[in-house]
Amino acid sequence: MAPMKLYGWVVSPWMARVRVCLEEAGAAYEVVPMSRSGGDHRRPEHLARNPFGQIPVLEDGDLTLYQSRAIARYILRKHKPELLHEGDLAGSAAVDVWVEVEAHQLEPVILPIVVNCIIAQYVGQERDQAVVDENLAKLKKVLEVYEARLSGSRYLAGDDVTAADLCHFGFMRYFMATEYAGVVDAYPRFKGWWEALVARPTVKKVMASMPPDFGFGSGNIP
């Protein structure tokens, strides 16, 4: 069976979301590196794979998929369905709720902080501290809910790691590389959950190719 192909730049938090799932599932895959600064994602051959012109894209035989969470679900359903709590109605509902929470409550506040605090300086943009402050305030409210949740279970959807936890890795990796990482100190269960996640060998492996500055500082512009 030919390995799956994952198109994109490995520093992308969306790529990371898929890669941790591939690693956890033990699925055979190869990364097909693309250049963001070179505009590879806007070329016709990539638009044929993903008409929205984004990465990651997964090819598995005849199938081409995009949207990182759709790819994650596809991989886990095929190779490690227990990470979705497949077949357990309440368990899978918990996974689904916390995948959506990451998408609609957490990621929208982390992204502007990461863009302003890490990326802006390398792409000739002014850091907007008002945007950072506004999103930090929202982040603290959101982390209160996570803290309460993690008081009841070791991981977000129960006492074992699931897709819900793995989906958080990519964006949290970069938030924790900003000067505001200390914000999580006020949420000890959340902080412990994060530390357990990054202690996983699969997560360490993916993180090894994700420098805290996205590669800009070392001239490896994505």
Choices 24-32, 59-67, 184-192, 200-208; region in contact with other proteins by CB under 8 A: 59-67
Contact with other proteins (CB under 8 A) among 28, 103, 123, 186: 103
- Residue 20 or residue 99: which is nearer to other proteins going by CB? 99
CB of 222 to other proteins, least distance (A): 20
Q: Is 1 exposed, middle or buried (0-12, 13-18, 19+ CB in 10 A)?
A: exposed
Measured CA to CA, the distance from residue 81 to residue 104 in angstroms comes to 24
Contact with other proteins (CB under 8 A) among 7, 29, 66, 169: 66
Contact with other proteins (CB under 8 A) among 120, 145, 196, 198: 145
Tell me if 59 contacts other proteins by CB under 8 A.
no
Choices 38-46, 95-103, 123-131, 180-188; region in contact with other proteins by CB under 8 A: 95-103
Choices 21-29, 31-39, 90-98, 116-124; region in contact with other proteins by CB under 8 A: 90-98
Tell me if 172 contacts other proteins by CB under 8 A.
no
Measured CA to CA, the distance from residue 5 to residue 32 in angstroms comes to 6
CB of 157 to other proteins, least distance (A): 11
Looking at residue 8, the DSSP 8-state letter turns out to be E
Contact 99, 77 (CB under 8 A): no
Measured CA to CA, the distance from residue 86 to residue 90 in angstroms comes to 10
Q: Beta-strand (E) ranges in the chain?
A: 4-8, 29-33, 57-60, 63-66
- Residue 123 or residue 148: which is nearer to other proteins going by CB? 148
Q: Is 54 exposed, middle or buried (0-12, 13-18, 19+ CB in 10 A)?
A: middle
Three-class SS of 57-88: EEEECCEEEECHHHHHHHHHHHHCHHHHCCCC
Measured CA to CA, the distance from residue 185 to residue 190 in angstroms comes to 9
Contact with other proteins (CB under 8 A) among 142, 196, 198, 221: 142
Contact with other proteins (CB under 8 A) among 27, 31, 105, 120: 105
Tell me if 97 contacts other proteins by CB under 8 A.
yes
Six token digits for residue 129: 């501290």
Tell me if 99 contacts other proteins by CB under 8 A.
yes
Tell me if 96 contacts other proteins by CB under 8 A.
yes
Contact 170, 14 (CB under 8 A): yes
Per CB under 8 A, residues contacting other proteins are: 51-52, 63, 65-70, 73-74, 77, 89-90, 92-93, 96-97, 99-101, 103-105, 142, 145, 148-149
